A and B are shown apart, each in its own frame.
Chain A
Amino acid sequence: MATYIHALYNDDDRLIDGAKKVREQGFSIKEVFSPFPVHGIDKVMGLKRTRISICCFIYGCTGFSLAFWMIWYMLIKDWPIDIGGKPNFTWYHNIPSWIPVLFEATIFCSAHGMALTLLFRSWLFPGVTPKNPDPRTTDDHFLMVLPAHSEEDELKLIATANATGAVEVKKVHL
């Protein structure tokens, strides 16, 4: 059975301060729940850099290639249509009018791909039980989950949380 300390803050600066103090003492932070993205918290928690930008690049390339192929197939290979007298028997002659399509498709695929990846990675689907331990973190509180491995650690963590201005400190057994 693992023991966790839940430290609840009502200010994001105090939360960052608390997280810093906890990390300075060599403890790890399991998770932080917050109603909005707190700038700099990822650095303090020691999280690895997000890989979502790599995903974004891959999705963007996919969208670009799909649009490229779609334009070529629909408007050049399968059925060339004379639109406003613009040359349409080769891809490169009509390039200015293809660029908006390429742009839109690239953005479309990267944005939707990223959103879906994020939802999938955080396991956020309709009907999923929320992992959030305290509903107040969806309103105006910030919660830090600190794993404690011994009695001594527990006391230290509780002391640090109280010293950095936590409004509520709880011991939780899971």
Chain B
Amino acid sequence: MNYYTFSGRTKNFTFALMGIGVIALLYGLFNGEISGARFWANILLEGLFFSFIALGAVFFMSLQYVAQAGWSVLVKRVYEAIGTFMPFGLLAIFIVLVASIIGGMAGHNDIVYRWMQKGVTDPSSPVYDEMVVKKSMWLNIPFVLIRTIVITSVWIYMGMVMRKRSIEMDLTNDFLPLHYKNMMTAAVYIVFFGITEQFMAWDWVMAIDYNWHSTLFGWYLFDDMWLTSVVVTILLTLYLKRKGLLQNVNSDHIHNLGLWMFALSVLWTYLWFWQFMLYWYTNIPDEVVFFQPRIDHYRWLFWIMMMVNLLFPLIGLMTRDTKRNPMFLAIIGSTIMVTHWIDAYIWVMPGSVGTGWHIGFLEIGLLAGFTGLFLFVVLSSLAKAPIQVKNHPYLEESLHHHF
């Protein structure tokens, strides 16, 4: 039994979640929300959150290739499958970009990316902003569109190529050349992704608060991608193990994944605090414009999110035993997934929706819908390939992984 079967019951569950999402979309459509920023900001939020999981998974996969890591071969299919969600999430982000451009051209002011408003670079206009004029070398609509399309297509293409080769490796005995090809692609991908992810972080998230800029924020998002993808890998692996698959994954593999979760959570806090402390200390208007609305209007979400993301993994996963306990890992993993969604909420909302935010049916419904879509895509691609890799130079090492 080396194949995962995407059973009808699970499928129906994902369809039900997607159904809630569709209802939320229709609700937004007929409620008049569609002309406001809240509707689009929510789609952007879900697109960011879920495509970041997929992007992190493809990055993690490349990292395993380049580092020639042996232990992770048994869970390789899991993060490969997570990576296949990439085009769907990126499409959602792209739709919001286009919607903002159209909204801006039509003269709407209540759009997600406010720097796209009509007349924002025109000194006689009431929405004129000198900051946007100064940043227009980088932040102008054609350039943003071109680089988004080019960069995301390269990401999607490289991710697909690596997965395709990996599946081909199982079908042939001459798998080493394919593995080396994948290693080369992965090395290129890591460098390319490391640079371009920064651009996309600026365009998709930082540009919402266009008066603010930070050189660290891209790395902060990078860590968020990496962490959420590892957590989803853990949750899926535990789920598959409960289903009786992936029997060769022992508690040492789980321990390694738990170590990643612990380390990346601490790194997340480090980056978060680094930014916060320096902003707090220097108190420069350009910079505090990021934290001011977040602390003033999103106070409880902001602090609770930060404390949970730090303390849950730090205290909960500090000892060896909790990293090997599936129940414990699942609880901590799902908790920090929720708080990282809140984190993503706080990236997007203050600059687009502003002070009048609330978490209602639209937020919850779209979250459910995208979760359903994500699970559907990931589980379908999981079912397409043998769940345990058959041919891999480090398979034997992974089977005997112990420490």
Min C-beta distance of B92 to chain A, whole Å: 36
Closest to B276 in A: A96
Quick check: is B273 within 8 A (CB to CB) of the other chain? yes
Contact with B along A95-117 (1 / 0, CB 8 A): 01101100000000000000000
Min C-beta distance of A93 to chain B, whole Å: 11
Name the one of B281, B319, B402, B403 contacting A96, with C-beta atoms under 8 angstroms. B281
Cβ–Cβ contact A99 & B277, under 8 A:
yes
Cβ–Cβ contact A39 & B277, under 8 A:
no
Interchain residue pairs A-B with the least CB separation, the first 6: A39-B403, A96-B277, A40-B402, A96-B280, A40-B403, A97-B281
Name the one of B277, B280, B282, B319 contacting A100, with C-beta atoms under 8 angstroms. B277
A97 to B274, CA, bound (A): 10
Closest to B279 in A: A96
Cβ–Cβ contact A86 & B281, under 8 A:
yes
Q: Assuming A84-B281, A96-B273, A97-B277, what are 16 further A-B pairs, CB within 8 angstroms? A: A39-B402, A39-B403, A40-B402, A40-B403, A43-B402, A53-B319, A84-B282, A86-B281, A96-B277, A96-B280, A96-B281, A97-B280, A97-B281, A99-B273, A99-B277, A100-B277
Residues of A within 8 A of B (CB): 39-40, 43, 53, 84, 86, 96-97, 99-100
Min C-beta distance of B185 to chain A, whole Å: 30
Min C-beta distance of A41 to chain B, whole Å: 10
List A contacts of B273 (CB < 8 A).
96, 99
List A contacts of B403 (CB < 8 A).
39-40
15 A–B contacts, CB within 8 A, in A order: A39-B402, A39-B403, A40-B402, A40-B403, A43-B402, A53-B319, A84-B281, A84-B282, A96-B273, A96-B276, A96-B281, A97-B277, A97-B280, A97-B281, A99-B277
Overall SS of chain B's interface: helix
Closest to B282 in A: A84
List B contacts of A43 (CB < 8 A).
402
List B contacts of A53 (CB < 8 A).
319
List A contacts of B276 (CB < 8 A).
96
Min C-beta distance of B69 to chain A, whole Å: 14
A84 to B284, CA, bound (A): 12
List B contacts of A96 (CB < 8 A).
273, 276-277, 280-281
List B contacts of A100 (CB < 8 A).
277
Name which of A53, A86, A96, A97 has the most chain B CB atoms within 10 A of its CB. Answer: A96
Contact with A along B280-298 (1 / 0, CB 8 A): 1110000000000000000
Min C-beta distance of A83 to chain B, whole Å: 9
Min C-beta distance of A92 to chain B, whole Å: 14
A96 to B273, CA, bound (A): 8
Closest to B403 in A: A39
A84 to B280, CA, bound (A): 11
List A contacts of B281 (CB < 8 A).
84, 86, 96-97
A40 to B319, CA, bound (A): 18
Min C-beta distance of B226 to chain A, whole Å: 22
Closest to B280 in A: A96
A39 to B277, CA, bound (A): 40
List A contacts of B282 (CB < 8 A).
84
Closest to A98 in B: B277
Residues of chain B in range 304-329 having any CB-CB distance to chain A below 8 Å: 319
List B contacts of A40 (CB < 8 A).
402-403
A129 to B319, CA, bound (A): 36
A86 to B281, CA, bound (A): 8
List A contacts of B319 (CB < 8 A).
53
List B contacts of A84 (CB < 8 A).
281-282
Residues of chain B in range 30-47 having any CB-CB distance to chain A below 8 Å: none
A90 to B312, CA, bound (A): 28
A53 to B403, CA, bound (A): 16
Min C-beta distance of A19 to chain B, whole Å: 13
A53 to B273, CA, bound (A): 26
A86 to B282, CA, bound (A): 10
A34 to B281, CA, bound (A): 50
Min C-beta distance of B266 to chain A, whole Å: 11
Closest to B401 in A: A39
List B contacts of A99 (CB < 8 A).
273, 277
Closest to B278 in A: A96
Contact with A along B378-403 (1 / 0, CB 8 A): 00000000000000000000000011
A100 to B280, CA, bound (A): 14
List A contacts of B402 (CB < 8 A).
39-40, 43
A86 to B276, CA, bound (A): 15
Contact with A along B74-107 (1 / 0, CB 8 A): 0000000000000000000000000000000000
Min C-beta distance of B385 to chain A, whole Å: 30
A60 to B402, CA, bound (A): 29
List B contacts of A39 (CB < 8 A).
402-403
Min C-beta distance of A132 to chain B, whole Å: 24
